[in-house]
Amino acid sequence: MSVWEIDFYRRPLHDEAKNPLWELLICDREGTLKHLVFCAQSEATADWLRQQLQQLLAEGYPQPEKICVFRPQSFSLLEIATQPLGIRLEPTRHTPTLKRWLEARSLVYPTLPGYTKQTYQPVTLDKPPPMPISENLLGIQWRFASLPAGDLITAFSDRLIPILNMPPEFLPLNVGLASSVLISGVVIDGGRRSMQLARWLENICPVSLSYVSGAPDGLVLEAGLVDRWVLATFDDAEIAIAAQTYEVRKQLGKGLHFLLIQPDDSGMTYTAFWLLKQDMEN
């Protein structure tokens, strides 16, 4: 079954009555579906959205396995619209086909009647400042690590790990990485709080983990659609050098990196593993 990617939001356009226009974009990752339609802001409701989805299904498009949405405002409306249809909705920043289309559409709007000349960022979302995580969740220690892309699957997919998240589209082979490329990551020894930390992370849906220089330096976890969390802070020069190496390897690995939670550094037991991918284009 196919996966649809949807965006529904206002654009830098208005109609003849100067009312803001909203645009609905629906596409699939196979390239067989590309649906575009405008509506006035007064019509931008969950009922209108449901009618558009029902129309596509009536035209013979098979019901998707899931619908992926990256914009919080779109998700809120689609959550209501899709419920009677029984279509699973997934909030995710990973909507590559849709985001490429949105970028292309942004070049078209200035040529259309009703262009408002407003500042418009097609895929950039407003994000809150990063929040510190609760001290109750902090692990015993953390460190940077890396392993060859060719060893990634065997190192983790065959282990009995309570929380294991390795999206097929993120696997090194599917991203086009050679087996010798080093995949960078962060390992947290959680001790007795290991599972508590892992469950919390599972709930907020990790997206990517980045080094941010400052006073102090830190690791910022992007999660959900727009949330950010300060996972760690440090002012050690050696750790800062390791953090820079981590970011370089992430770039060379096409954004791939990982987050591993374990009770201790024995290497015998893992609590949770996420294979993450940072969007290197946005």
Q: What is the CATH number of the domain that holds 60?
A: 3.30.420.10
**What pLDDT does 136 receive?**
81
Instruction: Please indicate, yes or no, whether residues 254 and 161 belong to a single structural domain of this protein.
Output: yes
Rounded Cα distance, 92 and 75, in Å:
10
Question: Does 92 fall in a domain?
Answer: yes
125: left (phi over 0), alpha (psi -120 to 50) or beta: beta
3-state secondary structure of 62: coil
Domain boundary among 111, 142, 174: 111
Q: DSSP letters along 207-231, please?
A: EEEEEE-SSSEEEEEEETTTEEEEE
Residues 202, 149: one domain?
yes
**Residue 118 in domain:** no
| Range of the structural domain that residue 213 is part of | 131-277
Residue 52 falls inside a structural domain: yes
**What angle (nearest 5°) sits at the alpha carbon of residue 224, between those of residues 143 and 206?**
25
Amino acid 267: pLDDT: 77
- Same domain for 69 and 27: yes
Q: Same domain, yes or no, for 208 and 271?
A: yes
Check residue 281 and give its pLDDT.
54
Q: Classify residue 173: in a domain, yes or no.
A: yes
Model pLDDT, residue 235: 92
**Do both 188 and 86 map to the same domain?**
no
Output the CA–CA distances (angstroms, integers) from residue 135 to 130, 132, 139, 197, 221, in the order listed: 15, 9, 9, 10, 16
In a domain, 15, yes or no: yes
**Ordered per-residue pLDDT tens for the chain, 282 residues:** 689 999 999 999 999 999 999 999 999 988 899 999 999 999 999 999 999 999 999 999 999 999 999 999 999 999 999 999 999 999 999 999 999 999 999 999 999 999 999 999 999 999 999 999 988 888 889 999 999 999 998 888 878 899 999 999 899 999 999 999 999 999 999 999 999 999 999 999 999 999 999 889 999 999 999 999 999 999 999 999 999 999 999 999 999 999 999 998 887 899 999 999 998 654
170 shares its domain with 256: yes
- The number of beta carbons lying within 10 Å of the beta carbon of residue 166 is 15
Q: Which of 78, 111, 144 is the last residue of a domain?
A: 111
Domain boundary among 57, 81, 111: 111
11 and 147 belong to one structural domain:
no
Residue 12 lies in a domain: yes
If asked whether residues 141 and 270 sit together in one domain, one would say: yes
171 with 77, same domain: the answer is no
For the chain, the domain total comes to 2
